[in-house]
Structure 1
Amino acid sequence: MVTTQNLPGSVDRPTATAQKRAAGPDARGSRRRATSGSAGLAALLVSPTLLVLAIVVLYPTIVALKDSFYGTPGLDPRTGFVRDHDPFVGVDNYTGIFGEAGERFWNAFWNTTFLTVTTVALETVLGIAMALIMHRALRGRAVVRASILVPWAIPTAVTGLLWRWIFNSDGVANALIGRQILWTTEGFHAKAAVIIADVWKTAPFIGLLVLAGLQVISKEVYEAARMDGASVPRQFWSITLPLVKPALLVAVLFRTLDALRMFDLPYILVGAQKTSVETLSMLAQDQAANVRFGPAAAYAVILFVYVFLIALAFVRLLGADLVPHRRKGATA
């Protein structure tokens, strides 16, 4: 509360509370009108983005959900004639993954999960190392940053073709290790080829976001830590990691969601219908290519729910807040 002292010759001024009371409902009404006007302007500005998202995201999701309840046209067992429309099968496309026909689905599901966990873990470690290197004030830092970021700028299709040439039977990889390995055939080496290619391409993405987090850390923090006798590893664990945690979690979240939808790199590098590297996206595409739109839509919906649950877990459990909350007591 603002008060004035009763000094000789001074004029009594109303307190802040008295000013608010004197303002009355007119001031409160004007503030509400200003707030509603700002909210209306904000809604108007974001409406084009929401419209585009509704067209390219919401509508296809609804259509995929509807198609997942229909089967594949074929002979009608009651009439013996070929159906001219997709039969309604309810949730059979979803329950079918728990039967004998679901073996291929679960293989694709575990491939997707394994490739996501492995690639994101390796990319996080390498990305942090890249960010620390790019952040150091060394000679030729611009060249180092450019060389690190080049793989991320290369299109994924080109990356797949490049690494397919490297992993060829008489390619660079076999020449370096001195063994003849058929990297692009079935087996764990096919998974290894996809992991190596994906880590090479997308680790710079995490490094770039972590670098942005490093650049906002004040140098005085490290100087104070050095004066207190903190070693370099101690500074990394106690200062660097906690302060870059928001940027790191957002980078890992985006990379995880992208890896769960992996399609083009294993499709080009190894090939379609390869049990070792077939992901859920590849399985859905293969079903759609064989005019099995119902199962393809069901697999796409399951993948959508899987990605949504992973994103929710990041935001709720790990604190990867994409929109910072306003602190209590802060004013507009």
Structure 2
Amino acid sequence: MATTHNPPETLDRPEPKTCGNATGRVRRRTATSGEGRLGALLVSPTLLVLAVVVLYPTVVALKDSFYGTPGLDPKTGFVRDHDPFVGADNYTAIFGAAGDRFWNAFWNTTFLTVTTVTLETVLGIAMALIMHRALRGRAVVRASILVPWAIPTAVTGLLWRWVFNSDGVANALIGRQILWTTEGFHAKVAVIVADVWKTAPFIGLLVLAGIQVISKEVYEAARMDGAGGLRQFWSITLPLVKPALLVAVLFRTLDALRMFDLPYILIGAQKTSVETLSMLAQDQAANVRFGPAAAYAVILFGYVFLVALAFVRLLGADVVPRRHKEVAA
């Protein structure tokens, strides 16, 4: 009797999936890595230049900030032929004998930065709106607005020094005799006026570039919905121009924190009313106090870095676009 062998029962096991998704991810990863290598190769010359002109001086300034001023060696009684190592004494002196002058320069720097950047932002937006309008002679208007920004800062300082002279144009217009280039709050006003006049066109130029990329159809749709000029500005122009405006304000803030040449030429050196951190560091270096000068420069670098970081984090000025995460199917 023939016996039949029944085949063993097979379990219903799922067929192994193809590795198409994995292959796609590998290809995307390979393409991304290739683009990353190409991008690193293209930016390497810029990174090299930045390392030479930014990183190296910063490291040297940080090293010099731990050294003092040459003088008599209390142990030998002879003049030192090298800068003595003092550790963190240059930084701790800020809270001691040198503290009053440092904190005065710090608050002057902060006040001038906040005031000038605020005024320049308001005037820059107004300039951008004026330059964007289709009016007769628009090219002449644009050129006249941008002229102050093209003038070198040293020339601007000399020009406004003549304006704020005791018998200059400013006193003739207000009908009072004010010594603008002496100590007092009026010296701050002179620096603010000169700086706003010079650099407000810079913000206006960047904002104008942002306005010109806004589609006209957006404004036409807003007018059809009954939106007036002010409503269009708050709901359309300002939100869409925000990226360009934030970049302009960021650049101007970082530049104003390092303000030196304009108050130095317009008002003068060692003026308590307008002395900034950059002026303080230059004064220490001019008096062969390179250690304290380096300490002030390092503190200013840290201040600028923290302001830039806070600006990017809090106000959303993303300088690096975010990658969208890919979700595997």
- Taking structure 1 as the reference length, the TM-score comes to 0.89
Correspondences of 1:1-332 after superposition (within 5 Å): 21=19, 32-327=29-324
- Say which SS state the counterpart of residue 241 (structure 2) adopts: helix
Q: 2:232 and 2:267 mapped to 1: Cα distance?
A: 43
Residue 9 of structure 1 aligns with which residue?
A: none
- Say which SS state the counterpart of residue 100 (structure 1) adopts: coil
Aligned residues: 311
Percent identical among aligned pairs is 88
- Say which SS state the counterpart of residue 259 (structure 2) adopts: coil
Gaps of 5+ in 2: 1-16
Q: 1:309 and 1:173 mapped to 2: Cα distance?
A: 37
Gaps of 5+ in 1: 1-17
Deviation for aligned residue 1:221: 1.3
Amino acid paired to 1:38: E
Deviation for aligned residue 1:323: 2.4
Greater Cα offset, 154-163 or 315-324:
315-324
* Per-residue Cα deviation, 1:87-129 (whole angstroms, up to 9, x for no partner): 1111111111111321111110000000000000000000000
- Taking structure 2 as the reference length, the TM-score comes to 0.90
Deviation for aligned residue 1:41: 2.4
Residue 12 of structure 1 aligns with which residue?
A: none
Deviation for aligned residue 1:130: 0.3
* Per-residue Cα deviation, 1:64-84 (whole angstroms, up to 9, x for no partner): 000001110111112211111
Q: 1:209 and 1:104 mapped to 2: Cα distance?
A: 36
Residue 14 of structure 1 aligns with which residue?
A: none
Higher gyration radius (CA): 2
Q: 2:28 and 2:104 mapped to 1: Cα distance?
A: 59
Amino acid paired to 1:325: R
* Superposed CA RMSD: 1.8
Greater Cα offset, 216-225 or 141-150:
216-225
* CA separation of 1:66 and 1:234: change in aligned 2, threshold 3 A: same
Q: 2:34 and 2:127 mapped to 1: Cα distance?
A: 46
Deviation for aligned residue 1:40: 2.4
Amino acid paired to 2:309: L
